[in-house]
Chain A
Amino acid sequence: MSKEIYRSRWVVLAAAALMVVSLGALGCQKAEPPKEAPKEPILIGGIFDTTGPTSDVGADYATAAVDAVEYINANGGINGRELQIEANDYAYKVPQAVELYKSYKDKGIFLIQGWGTGDTNALKEQINEDKTVYMSASYDSLLNDPAKTPYNFYVGTSYGDAIRGAMQFIADTWTDTSRKPKVVFIYPDHPYGKAPIPAGKAMAEALGFTIGDDQSVALNAKEAVSQLTNMKQFNPDWAWIGGTTASTAVIIKDAAKLGLGTKFLINVWGFDENLPKLAGDTANERAYGMAPFTFFGVDVPGMKPILEMHQKKHPNDTHTVRYIQAWTSMMVMWDALKKAETLDGPGIKAALEKVTDFDTGGLTAASITFTPTDHRPNTTLFIYKVDAEGKQVPVTKATLERKPEWLGQ
């Protein structure tokens, strides 16, 4: 009796199992698309800083790059193929960036969205050997001469041009005829901070400015009193700040505390929506920013997809101009990927070098053009300032000549 029960149980169980399996198989068949299997997605690599010393500006940049991939795929991808990004944090440490690069290379990735000046410069020889297109968030002028770095691209006005534009702006707004302006350069002792200084000094000398001693303020500085006390004796009219937002806010606050009358011209990574929040009203009428990009939420045509994406994915987050920077880089890359004749490093490079007057929809101060002999995206940027009410408003646009001798400088 009991045996029979067991047996029948086994039969029921077996039947049930069979049903499950066959249903599963049916389900699978249904799930399969009617047309041919989709092509493999195109994989790109991302090397970002979301935990390191530049994470104050890096996290938003990384978010935008990931969002842009979703936007690209929702809008047709790359000629029907999906785009996929492998985004990783490298904490602003060069060896980690090298490790990530090597692992990307191993997966056959030929296109990378990268980050800092130090690591991009460290990798430039290897990417050249491997023919990997590397789009960095570092706008170091050293990287825009294709004779030396043929596979490096970026979409923001170079640091060299930004600092020249800043010096030009000082000269243009200078009204005192009795003397020339006095300037000081404040920057972190870091490749990003040091890169544009020679260009800035050359320009300042050419314009006849008096240049004071350089001051070094680290990216993770919590105070800058000693450096600014040194600077106070020279009492400059203008000072260049070549750090990121957090350290810039520290400098401006301490300058206000010491009663300095100096005004500050700030490089792209030190001037964003967070600056007035961090520096409070000490930044008002004191902080001027060199801005190749439009700020987040400004009413221009190129902002529309960004705001849609923002509404859809994270409506409660706040974003900064860093989002726009990464987004622009991704859009230029998308354009090149669509037009590339071959999907490999040299193909993308050739396609990028055909980018002429790429319309960013007002996201940048000027359209973007690359040529095989010149990787400067443009030479025009906005100059913003923090006004008396703490709002960031554009003051003017600085445009520099595309001088051949400034290539790679």
Chain B
Amino acid sequence: MAIFQTPFIKFWMVVLFAFLAVFPWISKPVNSLFNTNTLYLMNLIGIYIIGAHGLNILTGFTGQISLGHGAFMGVGAYASAILTVKGGVPFWIALPLAGLITAMVGMVFGIPSLRLKGLYLAIATMAAQFIIEYAMRNWTTLTGGSSGMVVKPPSFFGITLNTDRSYYYLIYFFVILATLYTKNLTRTRSGRAFVAIRDRYLAAEVIGVNVWLYRILSFGVSSFMVGIAGGLWGHYVRVVSDEHFGIWLSVQYLAMIIIGGMGHVLGAIYGAIFMTLLPTLLRVPEQMLTEIWPNIFVIISSLREGIFGLIIILFLIFEPDGLAARWHTIKNYWKLWPFSY
């Protein structure tokens, strides 16, 4: 627990955990404020946080870009769906297995990282995206093809997690686990090796880091987490089909960690929150307007996508280091206030 050092941080962590624990019980009034089911949103955010942590380890810490994480999430979702539906494996075994299978797939597609860097690796992982998508769609006997698979909600020893509230606790258990793991990873030998590779891989090799091993390891750890996110997602939405795991999801994951702040543990969290909330928040004015002019929603819903893109561009221009960096600036400002120079 050495990562929470000051009493100030300890206090706020307790507040955060208390809030997370009681949120499902107080979400009703918040729902009317946002005009949507906020508990569902919180669950989605949780799932994306786990996946974004995964990509952050790969891209933020090890400096390897991946455009295949959308498909890797799909591998996790399909793996746990197939294991539970066709194999009859209980959920709590299927989920870690799904993570391991995704890690394996991720490591295989990570092999090109031995030779490729930067944009070239991005293209190689994009190939992974398309190959996996094609397999999900056309390996009909295993995946059900384009109709997808219907998945049962998980049950633990007789308790079925089929409500948003019960699933919320399951998801946030994994969110906390993933966050602690990522935070601690940077303090271990592997984590330092990752960062060394990111900063200058030649120097890392010279000081004795096995670059190839750690690159593949990074792909494995990263895919494992995104696979877990996929498994959780599949059992929550209860339908798995290739449509959800397109290149757009991969781009979205990248956007999350870029907007949130690459290489910051908090960055993945901010990014996931931002990218999930923004489309919903943009829907609020839309719904207000449609109450006055019911027919306008056809026009406005197309505008929404444009505004979404615009906000992201503005963010990248004015805060290129991400939300985590902005948070730092604000914190430092108040720390020194009123003598903030």
Contacts and interface: CB of A to CB of B under 8 A. Distances in A.
A327 B240 CA distance: 32
A23 B265 CA distance: 58
Interface string A88-104: 11000111001100110
B37 A126 contact: no
A249 B114 CA distance: 47
Interface stretch (B175-183, B210-218, B297-305): B297-305
A67 B162 CA distance: 36
A129 B40 CA distance: 18
Nearest to B239: A122
Residue among B37, B137, B164, B238 with most chain A CB within 10 A: B37
Given A99-B36, A102-B37, A105-B37, A88 B298 contact: no
A87 B40 contact: no
A99 B244 contact: no
A211 to B, nearest CB: 19
A214 interface: no
A122 B145 CA distance: 14
A400 to B, nearest CB: 24
B198 interface: no
Measured as residues with beta carbon below 8 angstroms from the partner, the interface class of chain A is: 35 or more
Q: Secondary structure at chain A's binding surface: helix, strand, loop or mixed?
A: helix
A95 B297 contact: no
B297 A103 contact: no
Given A50-B298, A51-B302, A89-B301, A125 B150 contact: yes
B146 interface: yes
Contacts of A131: none
A313 B302 contact: no
A121 interface: yes
Contacts of B304: 51
B80 interface: no
Given A50-B301, A59-B298, A94-B239, A106 B37 contact: yes
A63 B146 contact: no
Interface string B14-36: 00000000000000000100011
B320 interface: no
Contacts, number: 89
Q: Secondary structure at chain B's binding surface: helix, strand, loop or mixed?
A: helix
A70 interface: yes
Given A94-B244, A106-B37, A314 B295 contact: yes
Nearest to B162: A129
B237 A87 contact: no
A86 interface: yes
Interface residues of B, number: 32
Contacts of A85: 294
B294 A66 contact: yes
A189 interface: yes
Contact of B238 (A87, A126, A313): A126
B234 to A, nearest CB: 11
B146 A69 contact: no
A103 B147 contact: no
A103 B302 contact: no
B239 A63 contact: no
B294 A70 contact: yes
A263 to B, nearest CB: 27
A210 B214 CA distance: 58
A227 B305 CA distance: 32
A121 B35 CA distance: 25
A354 interface: no
A50 B305 contact: no
A103 B238 contact: no
A276 B300 CA distance: 28
A106 B145 CA distance: 32
Given A103-B37, A190-B146, A191-B147, A94 B295 contact: no
A84 to B, nearest CB: 9
B241 interface: yes
A99 B148 contact: no
A194 interface: yes
18 contacts: A50-B301, A50-B302, A62-B297, A70-B294, A86-B287, A87-B294, A87-B297, A93-B243, A94-B237, A95-B237, A95-B244, A99-B37, A106-B37, A121-B150, A122-B238, A125-B238, A129-B162, A313-B295
